[in-house]
Structures are given as C-alpha cells and as structure tokens.
Structure 1
Amino acid sequence: MKSKPFDLSGKVALITGGSRGLGRATALAYADHGADVVVASRNIENCEAVCADIRSRGRNALAIAVHMGRWDQIDAMVDRACSEFGRIDILVNNAGMSPVAPSSLETSEKLVDSVLALNFKGPFRLSALVGSRMAAGNGGSIINVSSVGSIRPAPEFAPYSGAKAALNALTTAHAAEFAPRVRVNAVLPGSFRTDVSRHWPADKERLTPAVMKRFGEPEEIVTTMLYLASDHSSFTTGTMIRVDGGRP
C-alpha cells in the first residue's frame, strides 16, 4: 500500500456528471492527488471549464459530452477515453437526476423512463464496459454515487429512490462479477448544497439531516471519494457508505 494518503499518481479517472456539484468537487480532488481525469456530462462547455481547472493543477484532462441514458454515446465515450489515456483506473458513476412530483399518479411515463435511464440504465452499461476492461487488465475501482433516498425514500421522488435502490443492487452484483481485481462500492449522499437543490420542495428544510442540522457542502464528500478510489480501500468492496450528516 502506498504510504501517502489517497495517492492517485498515474491513475486515470472517468467521472460522469463531472462538470458541477459533487462530480466537479471529486474531479478536482482527484487531480490534486495526482490523477488525470475524464470529465463527462451533457454540457461540453461546463466540462471544458472543469478540465481547465484540472490542467491548471498540472494534470491531463479530457472533456466529453455524453447523455448517460444513451448506450451508443456511452460506448463511444469509453472508446475515446481509452484511446486518449490507454485505460481507466477509476470510474465514478455520478450523473443523475432527482425530479420531484406532486404524486405518483401525476408522474408521467416519460419522467420515469428518464429517471431510470440516467440513474440506473446508464451506470449499468458504463460499469459493464469499464469493469470488464479493468478485470482483464490491471484492475480498478468503480464508485456508484447513489443516494440516502435509496434507503430512505419519500413520495416526492419515488422513481429516483427506486432507481438508486437498483444502483445499490448493481453495486453488490458488479462487486461479485468483477472481483477480485475490481472493487465496486457506492456512496449514499444526503442533502448537499448543489445547484440540484434549487429544484427541491419549498419546505426543503425538512430534507436537512436531523443530526447535523444543515446541508452538506460538495467538498465534504471528497474524502470518501478519495478513500474508495485509492489503494487505501483495497479490502473494501460491495459496500454502501452513507455521507448524509446523520439522516434518520
């Protein structure tokens, strides 16, 4: 094991939803600890802005526009990333959406399909592509960004909770499928202060963790993401780590 905490020198990370919020904070932290980073999201301008920050830290970066609900784009992204860097050592499935709805009856089929595609279908395909390459090569780490909503669901975002619960199940399944060379874990964030929080209900204070009595800041998830990406978690796989401020 490397003696320097969370040393990612020589590693290549691919982060979906990496242009903002928790994904951006993770991308910059990985670069600060020595990794080159592929930043992927639907907005290429935002990806390029994060890549500029990464390059200013002395690391290489690649911006890729991708819709994580479309498998043809996912396949092309993996091919491009591997062509550019030769491999992917760390995969962070962070892209997602958590729309709220007034009731299940008023939730449209289109919304359910979109939520499942982005939060489960996309990570399933991307993990299958990258995990199989990792298992056949030098191994690696896959980190699925789930949600505390997967184990503490609420009516307003039932499809999202269901999709993230499926992502938890996928974490366990892929940890077994790609072992022993690949570790697959999930992080379950609680209420973080990102741009997504602007779309929460007007009484969003009730989403605030009961123990910490505040929202988390994106930087507060970084240590967990570094731990799971680095060799310091070499005996950790198939687990779900809550980072939710003590949500009941």
Structure 2
Amino acid sequence: MLEGRVALVTGGSRGLGREMVLGFAKAGADVVIASRKAASCEELAEEVRATTGRRALPYAVHVGSWEGVTAMVENVYKAFGRLDVLVNNAGIAPTYPSLDEVSEELFDKVIQVNLKGPFRLAALVGSRMARERGGSIINISSVASIRPTPGDLPYAAAKAGLNTLTAGFAQAFGPSVRVNTIMAGPYFTDISRGWDLEVFQEMANRMPARRGGEPHEIVGAALYFADPASSFTTGAVLNVDGGQSVLR
C-alpha cells in the first residue's frame, strides 16, 4: 500500500502517533518517529525494524521550535531523499484551574505545539512535496475545535486553527499535495489519565459508540489519507470520534 514511501509522524513515540507509525510501517513505508524524548523514539524505531523490516529514523525535536522543525525536515531529506507523508500529530492539552489563571507561558506553549509547529512543518514539507512528487499532509485535530469547553479553551482554539490551516494549505499546494484533517474524539491515550472517568462515561453513554476509542482505531483513517486511494480527497475534515461531534 505504501511501499517505497516515507512517512514522518510528530508525537510519534506514543499514543495515536505510535499506532500510526506502526500502521504505516506495516503498510510498507519507512518512517520518521519524532517526539521530544529520544529514548522513546529509538525504542519504537527498534520495534519497527524488528517487526516490519522497514527503515525507521528516531528524531528528538520540540515541534514548537521553528528552528528545530526546520532542521528536522532537512535531516529527513538527507536521510531518505524524499518525504511522502507528514502527520502533524504532536499536541498538548494542559489543565488549568480557571481561565483567568491561564498563564502566558501555558498559552504560548499550547499554541506553539498545536498550531505553530504544524504550520511550519506543513509549509516546509508541502512546498517541497509540490515541487517534487507530491504527497499527503495529515493534521490531527480534535472535536474540541468545534465543541470547545471552558476547560480546554487554548487547546480548542489551537485545534480550530489547525482546521483552518488544512483548508488553506490544501489550496496552496494542490493539486499534487493533499492536505486533510482527522478530527479525533476521546481516545484512551496518556492524556486520558487525567480524565474524571465517571464524568467521561456519562458523556460516552450519550455517544453513538458508547465508549472511548482505542489508539489503533485511528490507523484506518490515517492509511486512507496517506494512500493514493484518497486521491480526490483534500481539504477534508474526517471525524473519527465515536460520534461525539453529533451530540446535542
């Protein structure tokens, strides 16, 4: 499905990112695993090599750093000579006691990781893809972008911005580069450790799926957008959220 392709996944060492890395590798792609923790990236890279035989490049980077992501793109092209799939998955959603107590540091950090980094990566990679052989950019957004709450407002605003970037970059880099968004719902990843499970279950009981998602359940949508099977799909936002977005 993805033989001969190279895919870069930010936030790739755990959670949804880890599952997408494994899914791409199993589909035949070589992978770049990017996150802040070098050891976690290398551990997953070793697993990819051992279980799939694909090349795997671990790369430690803070995606909110303009210089950091610029250097990463250059190093990926030096290592592989190409990049066919970019997944902007890295994200943070820190909690805070009240909106008036959101610090400037927290706000800036949320915007840097969830919006600034994806903008810079998509701009660099998309421009290069458009000049060369084309490709696919996949942004991982959140239902919070259309259903914000007081408890996740900076994060929700950043993800809403990511939805907007999807539409703009799809126009900028078409027709050879497709840019799409997966709007994720509640998944049982590291972030879910901070949930009030009783409150979550009350909400989940009103969702069509009646439950939260398992990380591997994001992979099918990611493979669709990465593969030429989605050749006429760009600028799209696909909800993979157990139906959370349709709740009244």
Counterpart AA for 1:178: F
The equivalent of 1:119 in structure 2 is 114
The equivalent of 2:223 in structure 1 is 226
The equivalent of 2:17 in structure 1 is 23
- How far, CA to CA, are the matches of 2:75 and 2:200 in structure 1? 40
The equivalent of 2:38 in structure 1 is 44
Counterpart AA for 1:133: R
CA drift at 1:101: 2.1
**Given the alignment, which residue of 232, 235, 239 partners 1:242?**
239
Q: Which TM-score applies when normalising by structure 2?
A: 0.95
Q: Which TM-score applies when normalising by structure 1?
A: 0.95
SS in structure 1 at match of 2:217: helix
Contact kept, 8 Å, 1:99 with 1:199, in 2: the verdict is no
SS in structure 2 at match of 1:105: helix
- How far, CA to CA, are the matches of 2:222 and 2:201 in structure 1? 26
The equivalent of 1:170 in structure 2 is 165
The equivalent of 2:4 in structure 1 is 10
- How far, CA to CA, are the matches of 2:102 and 2:202 in structure 1? 22
Cα-Cα RMSD: 1.1
- How far, CA to CA, are the matches of 2:47 and 2:228 in structure 1? 25
CA drift at 1:119: 0.2
Q: In percent, how many aligned pairs have the same letter?
A: 53
CA drift at 1:102: 2.6
The equivalent of 2:188 in structure 1 is 193
SS in structure 1 at match of 2:9: strand
Counterpart AA for 2:32: V
**Given the alignment, which residue of 47, 52, 57 partners 1:53?**
47
**Given the alignment, which residue of 50, 62, 65 partners 1:70?**
65
CA drift at 1:201: 4.1
- How far, CA to CA, are the matches of 1:201 and 1:95 in structure 2? 23
CA drift at 1:207: 4.9
In structure 1, stretches of 5+ residues that fail to align are: 1-6
**Given the alignment, which residue of 129, 132, 147 partners 2:142?**
147
Q: Give the count of matched residue pairs.
A: 242
SS in structure 1 at match of 2:99: coil
Contact kept, 8 Å, 1:191 with 1:207, in 2: the verdict is no
CA drift at 1:204: 3.3
Counterpart AA for 2:239: R
SS in structure 1 at match of 2:183: strand
- How far, CA to CA, are the matches of 1:163 and 1:103 in structure 2? 18
